Structure 1
Amino acid sequence: MKEFIKRRKYWIIGGVILLALIIWRANSGNGPKYTVAYTVAKQDVKQTVLATGTITSQSNLNLSFKNGGILSKINVKVGDKVRKGQVLAMLDQRDASASLNQANAAVLSAQANYQKVKSGASQPEIAVAQASVDAAEVTYKNAQNTYTATQSQQKSLVASAQGAILNAGLQAVVESGSTTVSATVTGTYTGTEQGRYRVVLGTSGSGLRYNLSGIEGYYSEFQRGVPAKIGNKGLYITIGTTGTLNAGDSWIIDVPNTQSSTYITASNSYQSALQTQNQALVTAQNAVDSARVALTQAQANLNLKQSLARPEDLAAADAQVKTAQAQLQAAQNQYSNNIITSPIDGTVTSVDLKLGENVAPQKAVIVVLDQSSLHVESNISESSIALLQSGQKIDMTMDAFGPDRHFTGEVLSIDPASTVLSGVINYRVISSIPQDVDIKPGMTVNLVILVNEKTQVLAVPNRLVKSNSHRYVTVLENGNIKETEVTIGLSGDAYTEIISGLSGGEEIVTSIEPKK
């Protein structure tokens, strides 16, 4: 009985196991199918930018003559090593040499003049200046004397002409209705005042008298037929002896007598005399002024030679020296513009010259390359340029050496301005390249630029990170498949950093097929 119970127990246990196997088999045949793709672990996450560039020399120089002319000398050929400052080629220098010599002479002349000004005048020069002053003084005094004589002479001539006009045809004219007795005027009028004399007769106890008014006031007794003085200016009046005189009879004498037949001639002579006087005095005064200026200049020149050099004179002489030196520098530049010298240590890679040919200015005729300053130039699209910055490391391979030979460089600079190539906006990036005798300008370079990196962080392959409203991965846990939300960090070229949601060791599945 006990053995039967024992066997029954075994049968029950076996049945349970068999039933579990059947159920498992049924589930495994009809459940979803999946593939375990990755077990979560720590990885190095790297983000890179790929580019292609070209080896270029920082100093690949096209050299030319600044002037044009006939080539007279060429000192290099292709492949020659040259040093900085070495003369490579030269144009005909005859005209430039002449100009340079002339400019040198001008500098020496200006420097000698500066020393002369600084030292002052010699005794012979001072003696000559003193003689000039003495001569100028004599000339000035003579001009003054001439002016005084001219002034006196012309004054006399004008006075004479003025007297002639005032004395032209003087006559005593009877006032209307007063008397029929005539009177004559004699003598010479010595005054300068123009106007009218009025002679009026009167009586006195002993005989006749007259009263004078107008230009002068005067009275005097007179006898008919005898000249009587009219005032004090040289004129006399003679009352005729024919006719009856009565008190109150009067005569008028106009000075000048504009009705006289000689008045116009005398007036013209007077105006001519005034004009002549003015011209003569102006000429004499100009001679005085010129002599005074000449004397002042001679005295100033003497003072200058007797004095020490003034600061302004030294400054002017120094300015002449500097001007001559500047002209010398210009001549030296013209001379140098006919020469090509190497601005760097390098190698001649091109020579486009023949002796005796006429070379055009600014035409590139020699190329010098500095192989010690090679770098890589590449164009990076605008979609990637924001990831780049100076100092980032670069892994390089070159088509000339195959994919197995690697070189290391770094980003040196990024152009701020863009260029458009085939409709795509790019930015030029300059990168360093190791110095290697095998590397030559023009070679093609393949660049892998490391823009970001995190080492040994939880990460999963990029293809296993999915998203809808959030980021998630598909995890196999205890035989069940579930979507696990994750927070990601750096997305690299192959892996994505997982910041939260996974802890490591989880199995990520893919290729899930639903139940049939």
Structure 2
Amino acid sequence: MKITRKKIIIVIAVLLVAGFAVSRFFGKKTPTLQTAEARRADLVSEVSATGKVEASENLNLAFEKSGKVALVSATVGKKVSVGAVLAFLDQKNELAALTSARGSLAAAQANFDKVLAGASSEEVAVAQSSLDAAKAALVAVQNQQAVLVLNALAAFNNSTPAAIPKTSNISSVTAEVSGTYTGSAQGIYKLTAYDTGLGPFVNVTGLESADFQVRSNAPTALGTHGLFVEFSSTAVQASDVWEIEIPNTKASNYVTNYNTYQAALQTQASAISSAQSAVDSAQASLNLKKAQARPADLAAAKAQLLSAQGGVQSAQAALEASLLRAPFAGTVTKVDIQRGQIISVNTAAISLISENKFEIKAFIPEADIARLKLGQEASVILDAYSSDVKFSAKVIKISPGETLIDGVSTYQTTFAFENPDERIRSGMTANLDILTDKREGIIIIPARAVFAKESAKFVKVMNPDQTVAEVEVKTGLRGSDGNIEITEGLSEGQKVLLSNSN
């Protein structure tokens, strides 16, 4: 029988269909369902990042003033302690100004102490002696001036005394006055003649009182004040009267003696006033020496002291400005000055990095930055060492401003190593795992077992009878290991289907 080409094609097609059917029938396998058991465990959430190690303090130091460099003690690689002098400028003027300021302060302090303590016993004794001398001088002036005034008064009162007869006298008998008036009172002696039958007598009234027989051959005392009277004749008539005025205002020397007396009184007042002023001044000085410091004096002395202290502080600041000190303990990395060089203010002179204090600067993407907080711990692996060499660090600073890297917003975050380690070097690459959250003893399942439906989250639970049921759950923390926290909907030990199960 002749087999045509058409028949051959038909047979091949039938065989292919039959082979495919057999393959489908005998090759079909039972679906494999992948499950995971809800278990209780600890869960952590981490953010991974890469950064660079830098010295926590890295400064270019400069002088605060310009001047001539006097000494440079720093050398590259030298380790220095905080406050160490690395270099200083010529200080002749600053040292002189400081010495002068300290002298002013010492003087102000001494004055304040003196005002506060008051006068010494020696000063009080000197002031008392001055007062005693002033008082003695006052007494001497008073006595001296009293004598001078009395002498002037006596001369004034003795301005040529004269017995003036009354115009009504019957006789022409005159009376002559002699002697020196020693009394201090001023007034009139009135002499009145009268007859007793034994001869003429005179009755004295006024400044003094007396009675005596009229005599023409000898002076008769008018009383006890030194004046005498002698009549030109005894032929006086009863009722004749003579008056003696003390002082005699009609005497030719009356005005002169009056002026002399008034001058003596003025001199006395001036001299006594001057002496009294000296006493008052000495008394005030003594009182001041004995008295405690007045608040006003103490405040003034305190102000002077504060001003002097400010002067010393200013001079010290000027001296300190000529020094270049290490602001922290570290290592000198550069020295750009030399002795004798004239350097300008704020010109970089010496560079310094901190000793065993390093940080890591890393840029965290915006997708993760919200999970970072200050104080979070980080595990650090440095590329220079194997992965089993780990260091600990903490987040100490998160920059508020973004930095664009390849069009992605990142935020510079600074980590501080918790413990100093000599193996850490500036410039090393650091790989960080930052612990952002942690739960202990919670129920977890693989995150891929959870799916969303109608604004809720579900898992497929494998029941003991091998049936599958959808169960709504609530989730919590998503861990870095692919697991997720289940807060509601599952119990420990339940099995859930994974999303890639066939």
TM-score, normalisation: structure 1: 0.56
The reply on whether 1:421 has 2:419 as its aligned counterpart is no
* CA 1:38–1:397: 2 relative to 1, 3 Å: farther
Distance 1:428 1:160 in 2: 108
Gaps of 5+ in 2: 1-31, 104-128, 280-310, 404-409
Distance 2:244 2:455 in 1: 139
Distance 2:373 2:241 in 1: 130
Distance 1:430 1:99 in 2: 45
Question: How far apart are 1:234 and its partner, in Å?
Answer: 1.1
* CA 1:485–1:171: 2 relative to 1, 3 Å: same
Task: Name the counterpart of 1:439.
Answer: 425
Task: Name the counterpart of 1:507.
Answer: 496
Distance 2:256 2:437 in 1: 121
* CA 1:497–1:246: 2 relative to 1, 3 Å: same
The DSSP-based 3-state class of the residue aligned with 2:185 is coil
1:353 pairs with one of 307, 319, 337:
337
Distance 1:99 1:496 in 2: 73
Q: Match of 1:507, as an amino acid?
A: V
Q: How does 1:327-338 map to 2 (within 5 A)?
A: 338=322
Question: How far apart are 1:215 and its partner, in Å?
Answer: 2.5
Distance 2:97 2:387 in 1: 59
Question: How far apart are 1:167 and its partner, in Å?
Answer: 0.9
Q: Deviations over 1:254-275 (max 9, x none)?
A: 3233454433321222344455
Task: Name the counterpart of 2:485.
Answer: 497
* CA 1:426–1:265: 2 relative to 1, 3 Å: farther
* CA 1:373–1:153: 2 relative to 1, 3 Å: closer
Q: How does 1:281-430 map to 2 (within 5 A)?
A: 338=322, 340=324, 346-360=330-344, 364-376=348-360, 388=373, 390=375, 392-396=376-380, 401=383, 408-412=390-394, 414=396, 420-421=400-401, 430=416
Gaps of 5+ in 1: 1-34, 107-136, 289-326, 512-516
Question: How far apart are 1:239 and its partner, in Å?
Answer: 4.8
Question: How far apart are 1:201 and its partner, in Å?
Answer: 3.0
Distance 2:161 2:378 in 1: 129
Q: How does 1:194-213 map to 2 (within 5 A)?
A: 194-213=186-205
Distance 1:428 1:267 in 2: 109
Question: How far apart are 1:436 and its partner, in Å?
Answer: 6.1
Distance 1:509 1:412 in 2: 36
Instruction: Tell me if structure 2 keeps the 8 A contact 1:71–1:356.
Output: yes
Instruction: Tell me if structure 2 keeps the 8 A contact 1:407–1:433.
Output: no
Q: Match of 1:496, as an amino acid?
A: I
Distance 1:189 1:83 in 2: 107
* CA 1:499–1:285: 2 relative to 1, 3 Å: closer
Q: Deviations over 1:490-513 (max 9, x none)?
A: 4545533225532334325769xx
* CA 1:234–1:59: 2 relative to 1, 3 Å: same
Bigger Cα displacement from structure 2, 452-461 vs 335-344:
335-344
* CA 1:226–1:76: 2 relative to 1, 3 Å: closer
Percent of pairs identical after alignment? Answer: 29
* CA 1:82–1:434: 2 relative to 1, 3 Å: closer
The reply on whether 1:459 has 2:444 as its aligned counterpart is yes
The DSSP-based 3-state class of the residue aligned with 2:356 is helix
Instruction: Tell me if structure 2 keeps the 8 A contact 1:80–1:347.
Output: yes
Q: Match of 1:195, as an amino acid?
A: G
2:261 pairs with one of 263, 270, 277:
270
Distance 2:180 2:55 in 1: 116
Q: Deviations over 1:261-305 (max 9, x none)?
A: 4333212223444555677889999999xxxxxxxxxxxxxxxxx
Aligned residues: 393
* CA 1:350–1:177: 2 relative to 1, 3 Å: farther
Q: Deviations over 1:64-119 (max 9, x none)?
A: 45665311444555x4334548764343466678899x99xx9xxxxxxxxxxxxx
Q: Match of 1:205, as an amino acid?
A: G
* CA 1:170–1:452: 2 relative to 1, 3 Å: same
Task: Name the counterpart of 2:78.
Answer: 81
Task: Name the counterpart of 1:5.
Answer: none
The DSSP-based 3-state class of the residue aligned with 2:184 is coil
The reply on whether 1:230 has 2:216 as its aligned counterpart is no
